[in-house]
Amino acid sequence: MICFPNCKINIGLYVTNRRSDGYHDLETIFYPVGLKDVLEIVPAKAESTLTLTGKSIQCNEQNNLVWKAWQLMKQEFPGLLPEIEIYLHKLIPMGAGLGGGSADGAFMLQLINDFGKLNLTKEQLSNYALLLGSDCPFFIYNTAQFARGRGEKMEDIALDLADYSIQLICPDVHVSTAQAFQMLQPKEAGFNLKEIAALRVEDWKDAISNDFEVPVFQAHPQLKEIKEELYKQGALYASMSGSGSALYGIFPKGRKAVIEKINSHYLL
> Which are the catalytic amino acids?
8, 135
Residues 121, 135: Cα–Cα separation, whole Å? 18
Report CA-CA distances (Å) from 149 to 14, 143, 187.
11, 18, 14
Q: Are 159 and 196 in contact (CB under 8 A)?
A: yes
* Strand partners of residue 50: 86
Would you tell me how many other CB atoms lie within 10 Å of the CB of residue 89?
15
Which amino acid, 72? Answer: L
Residues 223, 61: Cα–Cα separation, whole Å? 31
Which amino acid, 209? Answer: S
Q: Is the peptide bond before 264 cis (omega within 30 degrees of 0)?
A: no
Report CA-CA distances (Å) from 131 to 43, 70, 84, 127, 187.
25, 12, 21, 7, 28
